[in-house]
Structure 1
Amino acid sequence: MSIVTYNQCVRDYFSNPTHAGDFLDGVTSYINDQGIRIKLSAKVSDQTVIQLCFLAWGCPYTIAATEFFCKTYEGSDIQDLEQFEITSIMHELAVPIERTGRILVLEDAVHSLIAAINDRESK
């Protein structure tokens, strides 16, 4: 078995996930795939993502990537969420290619969150 060495960004985001939590009154998405579970919640006002939080169960890359996503996109327009791509996360966190599937689960959670936000906004 090989030992995984995480870069400093992964260690920082994993050890201090400031966006970890849950909203009772926000828009939520939940994905359970590949043994990874991610719940994303957003508070939205006037097409702006005011606040993001998450609950995640998975490897340190999963938790760090989800924290990175929340930190990056909190305060953004909903349209900015639609531009989300995993390449910046893969690079910033130095995610090994064999762990790409973990980050793709996050991508699915983000797409699900966007759909939930758009559904709520259209009502």
Structure 2
Amino acid sequence: MIYSREVINGFKLLEKAPSISDKNEFFFEAESEDRSLGVWVKCQMLIEKEIIKEVNFFIFGCPDTLVSANKIKSIIQNQAIHDVKYIDMLGIRKNLNIPVEKMGKILVIENAFQECLKVFFLKR
């Protein structure tokens, strides 16, 4: 499999995401998967006063998926939830030079994020 230079460089910089240890009333998590694409994503967030203080993605997937999740994390962490309800997934795919046929894998990340937001809105 051939990956873009942006994905290869991003993959080299990835660190293992620690599980959020402070699982209090501000902790929310949700999962999404697409078995036909071989992708599973868990999203964990700490949201205080409607600010995403911490976000982690746990992923079973290809390097494109891992690097995309890291890019999304850099966009949404420390942002107000109302400012990041919708993420430009097409822009992320283009920015990382990921082939169009992998868009479905990247959308699983967005699904996990959106599910986590739903959990937040249901619990508040």
TM class by shorter-chain length? Answer: 0.7 to 0.9
Equivalent positions of 1:82-101 (< 5 A) are 82-101=85-104
Say whether 1:45 aligns with 2:42. no
Equivalent positions of 1:1-123 (< 5 A) are 3-8=1-6, 10-18=7-15, 20-24=17-21, 25=23, 26-33=27-34, 34-120=37-123, 122=124
Offset, 1:77: 0.3
Q: Calculate percent identity across the aligned residue pairs.
A: 19
In the superposition, the TM-score normalised over structure 2's length comes to 0.86
Deviations 1:9-44 (CA, angstroms, capped at 9, x unpaired): x12332222472322412111112121011111111
Determine if contact 1:18/1:67 at 8 Å carries over to the other structure: no
In the superposition, the TM-score normalised over structure 1's length comes to 0.86
- SS at the partner of 2:117? helix
- Give me the CA root mean square deviation: 1.6
Give aligned pairs, total: 118
Q: Which runs of 5+ in 1 are unaligned?
A: none
Tell me, in whole angstroms, the C-alpha distance in 1 between the residues paired with 2:16 and 2:90: 21
